[in-house]
A and B are shown apart, each in its own frame.
Chain A
Amino acid sequence: MNPYYELPQDEAGYSFGFLDEYAKREVRRNILKAICIPGYQTPYASREMPMGRGFGTGGLQLTLSLIGRGDTLKVIDQGSDDSVNAVNLRHFIELTCPGVDTTERTQDATLIQSRHRIPEMRMTSAQTLVLQVPYPDPLVVVEPSEARRKIMHGEGDYSRLLTKLYEDIVHFDEITISHRYPTRINGHYVLDPSPIPRFDVPKLHQSPALILFGAGREKKIYAVPPYTNAEPLVFEDVPFRTEDFSDAQGRRRSCHRCGATDSFLDEFTGNDGERIYQCSDSDYCHQRLSTQHSAANEVSR
């Protein structure tokens, strides 16, 4: 290398959306393929992003390839807009996509990137949800080889996965899969819905919004197109069960802030040792509270 070489000082300037245009076009083409074959894991040449693999680089590549000026973006992690990783991703997108608005309000967003949760508020056909995926293949628990899994998917052979569910019932009298619950899309491919809780799985079914899944490290894109069937893998006589938030008396627990009894709850221990429950979706909780406040103000007037 030329010993007198100086680094150009304008190297730090990035093009819109960080990735070069060819890369973004490639991702968009693969998104189209993923939508055309619901639930199929479309391979793509995932690019390295300036944050760690496993921190949402797959979702980020989808977001950056889709986003344009005029879009409004919401980024959440664990249901919260303010968690470290959500802040980091949002900051990066703001930095590389000038002219894009960001919001915390679910209904105001055109594009939502999320890790581990689907927002409580029902999304519309004008919105797209991008989920970050650590393990794209539900068959990985029963078959380590990707080449063999691909054949199993092609043949719709999920017998070993069903056997695992059956063995769970024999051992524990329960299906023990807590999150990443294998879900059959449009009657054929079974996908890993990313580590969303079982509570969120029914939201995939006949969703008006397009739901995209990006696995950066494993280099796969897949989709649940709008208004598509999404059925968790179960047996006829063993129904699918979401997380149980009922107390000892069988009453549904509520959020200690907004009182919601229809949201996924985070559990933590209060100062005097009692268990406290609170909405995991912070925007849902905030919006309910502010509606309650304005309603209370109306009454007091």
Chain B
Amino acid sequence: MERSTLDLWVGLFVVAGIGALMVLAMKVGNMSGVSAGDSYMLTANFENIGGLKPRAPIKSAGVVVGRVSGIRFDNEKFVATVSMSIDKSYKFPKDTSASILTSGLLGEQYIGLEGGGDTANLASGDRIKQTQSAMVIEKLIGQFLYSKAAEGGDKK
């Protein structure tokens, strides 16, 4: 085999391999995903996080703005403390509320942020004060039955 032909093939091979990696990164994955460098941290306490997992998306108005970076249990207040890393390009006012939502009926759980009207923005390390816990289906059914029973009681 001529030297130059061999080199050409190897060159093509390397380019094709790196090209395939790029395709995987750009087309298949979301390379634009949040990385540690250009994000800031927020925390929020929830009474119940349901099935929320680390790396779950954080969405505002349906747009992914960050990811859950850690979940731990606060042993003094008996709540779950969720830390979130939010993309630096998104700012949220101080009175933003966070709630744990479910995509679809059986889909994965994520945190939804809803901006308020405060003029000051949340800074890195701040805690979101208004939170709404995950809907736990057993509780929902319990509440539903309780209210039905209460309705029934009123009619009598």
Q: Decide whether A and B assemble into one complex.
A: no
